[in-house]
Structure 1
Amino acid sequence: MNLNEATEENLKYIIDEMSKQLQVLNPTILDPEKFHLDNYHNIKQLYDMVQGKDQISVPEIHAIIDELKKYRIQD
């Protein structure tokens, strides 16, 4: 899997992985279906940052989730 390619499969993978690492209790917040592929590279940058950290503090988790919310498709 080449995560540098913006595909629906890769988008789902990186969002699911971030959801696990950030220990999101409400999975609907990071439902991959609610993110548009046009924002893939911005979301991938957040994913890379999360992958590069050994530990993520609670304030960092909140900030990352808030940033991800900016890329959600508005209902």
Structure 2
Amino acid sequence: MVDLTQKTQENVEYMIEAIKTKLRMATGAAMSASAFHVDRYEDILEVYEIVMSKERLSISEVEALAKELGQLRGN
């Protein structure tokens, strides 16, 4: 089990990969986990918790989450 209380780049990458898998993102390859930085850890953790708490997500939820991830990605 991953300890997500630790703000590490490895945990950021773990959460992004888990989110991409759960959302079955077709553009997952374009959204590299390494493009997300630990300084946005709390925001990424919040998205991760939302995604993992739901058994199914509607298309509009997936779109909204993908948009949020896009905003959290580093430049």
1:3-39 CA-to-partner distances (Å, cap 9, x unmatched) read 1211111111100000000001122342111111100
* Residue equivalent to 2:49: 48
Give the structure 2 partner of residue 38 of structure 1. Answer: 39
Stretches of structure 2 that go unaligned for 5 or more consecutive residues are none
Over the aligned positions, Cα root-mean-square deviation in angstroms equals 1.0
Tell me which protein shows more helix as a share of its residues.
2
- TM (norm. structure 2) is 0.91
Q: Identity rate of aligned residues, in percent?
A: 28
Query: Given the two structures, how large is their TM-score scaled by the length of structure 1?
Result: 0.91
Q: Give aligned pairs, total.
A: 74
Q: 1 CA distance for matches of 2:31 and 2:7? A: 18
Q: Which runs of 5+ in 1 are unaligned?
A: none
**Contact 1:34–1:73 (CA under 8 A) maintained in structure 2:** yes
Deviating beyond 4 angstroms after TM superposition, the runs of 4 or more aligned structure 1 residues are none
